[in-house]
Structure 1
Amino acid sequence: MAQDESLRDLYDGCYRRLVAQLYAICGNLGEAEDAVQEAFVRAVEKPRRFAQVDNPEAWLRTVALNVVRRRFRRLTRYRGLLRTAAASTPADAVPGLSPDHVTLVAALRQLPLEQREAITLHHIVDLPVREVALQLGVPEGTVKARLARGRARLAPLVREFAEDVEEVDHV
């Protein structure tokens, strides 16, 4: 019973935070929710193994990231087989999120997955580079390179949006 209660407390404490983090990476709220739920299911399926984890939230994030990555690879293969670009759900169709958050996610969607992961974990989750490297299973230098490249690609995208908003405000 105590183990069930602690997992329930963990769910209550970090589910929304994990969904927001994964949403910033994958750009799809439903996909983010599914990935985090899958991570919790795996924790429930293997309670002894999960009980030995030092940082349960980091473990859940890692599992959810792996779920997103696997689905991303499958979708990429599927799209390649069909030779068509599937239209994504527009970011502004997500209810209850601030325009800034929706804009950031829309800009992040235009980055390669590796850069999105690094930027989200470092700047949104607020993990140090060392921890991001551990989460992603890559060297710290790789994380730093992904962050630098991602920020360079993200800056003009966010600037474009800011200019569009200013034009609308002046009309």
Structure 2
Amino acid sequence: MPFSGDPGAEQRFDEFYAANFAALAAQITVYLGDRAEAEDITQEAFCRAWRHWPQISGGTNPVGWVHTVAYRLAVSRWRRLRVAVAHRLRHRPQSIPPPDGGRLDLQAALATLPDAQRRVVVLHYLADLGVDEIAAREGVPVGTVKSWLHRGRARLATALDREGAAQ
């Protein structure tokens, strides 16, 4: 245990974990498109929270702290994957046929969005958070969240229309 002197801290953390793990893992799954990776990232975020639990639990928003850590870990993972994919594409033998572009799923459409827009779209539509709650979580004005949602929806519509026309 990373701290002592508070015998109820472990139980409070266990309750915090049980109440928040599934929802955060689901959000990160949509963000990354890989459930196993999302669960690993969410677990890592909670491990970091455990190491800092005395400070976090005394703060105003421990859930927000874990969400921020998880999203930062996911963004790092996303960036590493983009670099790896770009490297593979440059070094891929040209005899391999391109993948069949017959269907576009939500994760592929979300991948076309900038990070901020993807986060607010996922939080609003998949995690059912209100604009005010997203603004508080992201640390931006409500108008900014509305703008990101509007732009994200427009980009998703364009990406989905483009893929639908290609099919």
The normalised TM-score by structure 2 is 0.71
How many Å separate the matches in 2 of 1:137 and 1:58?
A: 10
How many Å separate the matches in 2 of 1:21 and 1:105?
A: 12
The amino acid of 2:26's aligned partner reads: A
Larger Rg: 2
Kindly tell me the number of residue pairs found equivalent between the two proteins. Answer: 151
Mark the runs of 5 or more structure 2 residues left unpaired by the alignment.
1-6, 92-103
1:37 aligned residue: 43
- Which range moved further: 138-147 or 57-66? 138-147
- Identical-residue share of aligned pairs (%): 38
Deviation at 1:162, TM superposition (A): 9.2
The amino acid of 2:12's aligned partner reads: S
Mark the runs of 5 or more structure 1 residues left unpaired by the alignment.
87-101, 164-171
The amino acid of 2:22's aligned partner reads: R
Aligned counterpart in structure 2 of residue 72 of structure 1, from 78, 81, 95: 78
Equivalent runs, 1:43-122 vs 2, <5 Å: 43-79=49-85, 82=87, 84=89, 103-122=105-124
1:148 aligned residue: 150
The normalised TM-score by structure 1 is 0.70
Provide Cα deviations, 1:108-166, integer angstroms capped at 9, x if missing partner.
23333222101011222222223323323444333222211111222355678999xxx
How many Å separate the matches in 2 of 1:138 and 1:54?
A: 17
How many Å separate the matches in 2 of 1:113 and 1:85?
A: 24
Structure number with the higher helix fraction is: 1
